[in-house]
Structure 1
Amino acid sequence: MKTRRLIAAALACSVASTGPVVLAGPASAESVLRIAMTATDIPTTTGMPNNGFEGMRFLGYPIFEGLVQWDLKSTTKLAGIVPALAERWEQDPNDKAVWTFHLRQGVKFHDGTAFNADAVIWNLDRYFKNDSPQFEPQGAGISRARAPLVGSYKKIDDATVQITTTQVASYFPYMAVYLLFTSPQSFEKAGRDWSKVAALPAAGTGPFKITRVAPREAVDLAKFDGYWDPDRMAKVDRVRLLPIPEANARVAALRSGQVDWIEVPAPDAIPSLKQAGFTITTGSYPHVWPYIYNMGAKDSPLKDVRVRQALNYCVDRSALVELLNGTAEPASGWLNDKDPNFGSPKNRYTFDAAKGKALLAEAGYSDTKPLKLKIMISSSGSGQMLPMPMNEYLQENLKQACNVDLSFNVVEWQVLLNSSRALPDAQSLQGSLALNVSSPSSDAAVMARYFGSDRFPPAGFNFPNWKDDAFDAALKALAETTDAKVVDAQTKAAHERLVDNPPWLFIVHDLNPRGMAKTVHGFVSPQSWFVDLTLVSVK
């Protein structure tokens, strides 16, 4: 099949461009876990990492914590949130925009300084107060996009802080989970220069601490013996994180024993890896791999809902899943089809080229006047799966099925991620009419910041500039209640609008494949973008 040869060729080309991976040998007395990431470079190490959720997975949560954290111990249910640096929190019954967080006592940063309310306020000023001495533009941009409802905040006492949101949102703790805390002393020690903080390295409160940072080479972590939670002490002495963006290069590193764990193995390599005794883990989790439409650009053909629906009918998702060796599931909405809150939309996007072509014809596109779209894609990156071969498959699929002409603007992952907060006609988009940026679909807070009509960039991730009154009404209703039944009903109503009036082309849901050596034990593949490295041992 031509498309299968296309993927094989694309993966082969990626290997050819990769030099040898060199790792320093671990000390014989220590247990060392070596992980190959998909990133082209190490994520930033100041405490608010870039490189999307892969940055948070490996150089966020293991080292730097928030008031709230993900519960990552289960494979059978969607990951929820549990207390972290806050022992508990509550929403003020008289003013539901006010949240009070009661801080955990006795917690120390890796540098020995105390975690307390002053450290919380200092970090919030770092993210949300432009004129603070510690303001960090990159960390602020990431934090404001993920927790856009933070309005004001104050210290009540050494163990209590209050955060007031800009609107009532029952799901605010699912935004607070992304606000991580770095020791203020790290900033002072670096001469109040964030560009120098990474070289210290920076101190957090997590179960691992950073011991070495080598840009484009590796980051070394070590078990933090002073960690506050005795039930989450790390089982390995050290972790080494390496950026290896090409899929077959990661496979080669695993086969040769240079690493113990790889993110996203090349799908064609999975059978032989299993045969050789390596462990391949997969699992459903809240991850959709889409094209995010640029509806707001001048003269964009995607302003027409018929075009947006047509493209969803033109994709042969099952064939793409087959090419990925079953490491994905077809996506016909933002939520997984099996999610009880998927709802009952009027459209169910199976592969129906005839219906897709008919909708395109109604919108004025035909064999003599084909729809043409430029898509901004990345060559690798967090959650991006295998973007080059997958996009080349879609290019052929859409041309054959519905005579749609795709062209690609290939950029580095962080550039693509930054573009998701660009204005519709921004010069940086270079005329791109969609972005191939994978997305979490884990909770209502994520839904709000991707699709709420008050979240057009730069205030959020609603890159399409999509506005749907019925969706906004459902989102408001679920934000203003704590009744689980009402939340579920309104989530269904909101999701039905995402399907029937689609701001995205929904393609597949990732099944999170990883390859591991037989020496890796205890790993749990949670229904989350994140993992708990404290559970893992190397024997």
Structure 2
Amino acid sequence: MTLRHLALAAIVAALPAAAQAQQKTLRIAMTASDVPTTAGMPNNGSEGMRFLGFPVFEPLVDWDLTRADKPADIRPGLAESWAQDDADPRKWRFALRQGVSFHDGTAFGADSVIWNLDRFYKNDSPQFDAPAAALARGRVSIMSGYRKIDDRTVEIETSRPISYLPYLLTWILFTSPQSYAAADHDWGKVAAAGGAGTGPFRISRFVPRVSAELSRNDGYWNPDRKPKLDRILLLPMPEANTRLAALRSGQVDWIEVPPPDAIPSLKQGGFQVVTNSYPHVWPWVFAAGKPGSPVADVRVRQALNYCIDRDGMLALLNGTAEPSIGFYKANDPLFGKPENRYKLDAAKGKALISAAGYGPQKPLKITIGISTSGSGQMLPLPMNEFLQQSLKENCGVDVAFQVVEWNTLLAGLRATPEASQWLGADALNISLVSSDPSQMARWFLSSNATPVGSNAGHWKDAEFDAAFATVETERDPAKIAAALTRAHERLVDGAPWLYIVHDLNPRAMSRRVKGFVSAQSWYQDLTRVDLQ
């Protein structure tokens, strides 16, 4: 038995026997190297939100994950409705859902909303939680105030008018204040016990670095989303072949990101392999605002986009991705008509590299921070090795890597390009969300430069900012679409990223798994899933 299989056996052996024997216990192998944090604001990126976020803890505004035939959009969550103030568009009012209880039996209401917002945004609050606050503030950096209007109404104020605030609020999850008090006012103890949310599943067991067990919440407020499963076991397995072996041996029922070369044999073996288009970009995020970096020159960034073989990458991935030549997909109506249409064009790439002052006597050399696995990271090691070879063969670019664990790499997304968290790199390979305008603002607005927001590369473009000011303040959908199109054209021509692929979200499952709908989203509704 290999070390990999011994490690897997140890993980499974550590699970509670009752859970293993449960008839309707769905066992999921995640790409994460550790169990996401369990106190109500999970780490591990969107995979953490997918498995230990939305199933357990809920936001005011949630995602509608019921359909596979169109991109997911928002729906009411813990707020039944919301409205932007006509007199002061910086203010929004949210009417809270009534009759909702946390898993510990305490009622959800305006007081618990304010308590949670203080947890993230008020440094001197007794419940302030620095790690969770870093996540919340990096995602929702424009919140300038909030207050209780009455028991079922809260008002949230932003630093400037923001048309897409409801999309941003999908990132803020709510935890029971009582669960914090019961844990001696210690977030570490909350995590050890598993925080109490309002979601369809509750955390029933947590073993650090081994597993988390979710159990059905029989008192869930939404009768249309009562889970069919009794339990879900979440197992961190960062190595793709370990996940594959666990599925084939029957130790798990579902794996994230199966190895592409194993997909034909999985299908032949009767396993389900599910893919779907969704708002996912797998780029290199350039340190465009880092003085002295080669990628501070737009010509270098454009050149690298012309020097990679995207078709060869798709062959490596066995059809589980689409080529990326922008933030949006090429067939998106908002893609626009940028001056650059990236494809493999080595001559054009070399010419741009030469114009930037590099060549045989002064080779272009760059360093990229990459991870071994992680949320949405696909297969980062072989994919980055392919890019390294492609850039060398096509344009003579020398690429070196700094390889770290996923959460270490994520720290760069919240730091300035000169900071140590960037690993001295010229780009970070971090897969990112492209679902709505709020995400475009997160990654590219100059006012969202880290550490305030999530524009980690510090790219700055006056035309993009001007277009986005229209997106944020305009209320005419046609004018918003025109401004988004112009903003996207600037993203293509300004090349703040190396655009590589859009993932097709592959999962492999036992034939026993029924009812799964592959939503066009980073998130999935586990309440619909059943086991035969």
Classify the TM-score, shorter chain.
over 0.9
Deviations along 1:337-385, one digit per CA (max 9) or x if unpaired, are: 1211111111000111111011101111112321101100000000100
Tell me if structure 1 keeps the 8 A contact 2:417–2:457. Answer: yes
Q: What does residue range 137-176 of structure 1 map to in structure 2 within 5 Å?
A: 137-176=130-169
Tell me, yes or no, if structure 1 residue 101 matches structure 2 residue 94. Answer: yes
CA RMSD of aligned residues (A): 1.4
Determine which of 463, 467, 487 is the counterpart of 1:474: 467
Tell me, yes or no, if structure 1 residue 229 matches structure 2 residue 222. Answer: yes
Query: 1:22 — aligned with what?
Result: 12
Secondary structure (helix, strand or coil) at the match of 1:177 reads helix
Query: 2:54 — aligned with what?
Result: 61
Tell me if structure 1 keeps the 8 A contact 2:72–2:520. Answer: yes
Q: 2 CA distance for matches of 1:343 and 1:257?
A: 47
Question: Cα distance, 1:423 vs. partner?
Answer: 1.6
Tell me, yes or no, if structure 1 residue 281 matches structure 2 residue 274. Answer: yes
Secondary structure (helix, strand or coil) at the match of 1:199 reads helix
Tell me if structure 1 keeps the 8 A contact 2:279–2:522. Answer: yes
Determine which of 122, 129, 132 is the counterpart of 2:115: 122
Q: 2 CA distance for matches of 1:383 and 1:40?
A: 13
Question: Cα distance, 1:298 vs. partner?
Answer: 2.9
Tell me if structure 1 keeps the 8 A contact 2:408–2:421. Answer: no
Deviations along 1:57-100, one digit per CA (max 9) or x if unpaired, are: 00000000011100001111111100010110100111111100
Question: Cα distance, 1:34 vs. partner?
Answer: 0.5
Question: Cα distance, 1:14 vs. partner?
Answer: 11
Deviations along 1:119-151, one digit per CA (max 9) or x if unpaired, are: 000000000000000000011000011111111
CA gap of 1:213–1:93, structure 2 versus 1, over 3 A, is same
TM-score by length of structure 1 reads: 0.96
Tell me if structure 2 keeps the 8 A contact 1:18–1:246. Answer: no
Query: 2:396 — aligned with what?
Result: 403
Tell me, yes or no, if structure 1 residue 490 matches structure 2 residue 479. Answer: no
Determine which of 415, 423, 432 is the counterpart of 1:430: 423
Query: 2:70 — aligned with what?
Result: 77
Q: 2 CA distance for matches of 1:466 and 1:202?
A: 37
Secondary structure (helix, strand or coil) at the match of 2:264 reads helix
Tell me, yes or no, if structure 1 residue 318 matches structure 2 residue 308. Answer: no
Deviations along 1:479-518, one digit per CA (max 9) or x if unpaired, are: 1122211111111100000001111110000000000000
Question: Cα distance, 1:19 vs. partner?
Answer: 4.9
Q: What does residue range 133-282 of structure 1 map to in structure 2 within 5 Å?
A: 133-282=126-275
Q: 1 CA distance for matches of 2:266 and 2:259?
A: 10
Query: 1:10 — aligned with what?
Result: none
Stretches of structure 2 that go unaligned for 5 or more consecutive residues are none
Tell me, yes or no, if structure 1 residue 451 matches structure 2 residue 444. Answer: yes
CA gap of 1:16–1:31, structure 2 versus 1, over 3 A, is closer
Q: What does residue range 295-314 of structure 1 map to in structure 2 within 5 Å?
A: 295-314=288-307
Tell me if structure 2 keeps the 8 A contact 1:282–1:514. Answer: yes
Q: 1 CA distance for matches of 2:63 and 2:417?
A: 33
Determine which of 509, 512, 517 is the counterpart of 1:516: 509
Aligned length: 527
Tell me if structure 1 keeps the 8 A contact 2:289–2:460. Answer: no
Secondary structure (helix, strand or coil) at the match of 1:388 reads helix
Deviations along 1:241-272, one digit per CA (max 9) or x if unpaired, are: 00000001000000000000000001111110
Query: 2:492 — aligned with what?
Result: 499
Q: 1 CA distance for matches of 2:214 and 2:59?
A: 19
Question: Cα distance, 1:285 vs. partner?
Answer: 0.4
Q: 2 CA distance for matches of 1:110 and 1:206?
A: 8
Q: 2 CA distance for matches of 1:197 and 1:29?
A: 26
Secondary structure (helix, strand or coil) at the match of 1:262 reads strand
Query: 1:375 — aligned with what?
Result: 368
List 4+ stretches of structure 1 deviating above 4 A. Answer: 13-19
Question: Cα distance, 1:200 vs. partner?
Answer: 2.1
Q: 2 CA distance for matches of 1:432 and 1:33?
A: 40
Tell me if structure 2 keeps the 8 A contact 1:148–1:459. Answer: yes
Question: Cα distance, 1:296 vs. partner?
Answer: 2.4
Q: 1 CA distance for matches of 2:130 and 2:440?
A: 25
Question: Cα distance, 1:320 vs. partner?
Answer: 0.4
Determine which of 371, 375, 382 is the counterpart of 1:389: 382
Tell me if structure 1 keeps the 8 A contact 2:8–2:246. Answer: no
Q: 1 CA distance for matches of 2:230 and 2:349?
A: 55
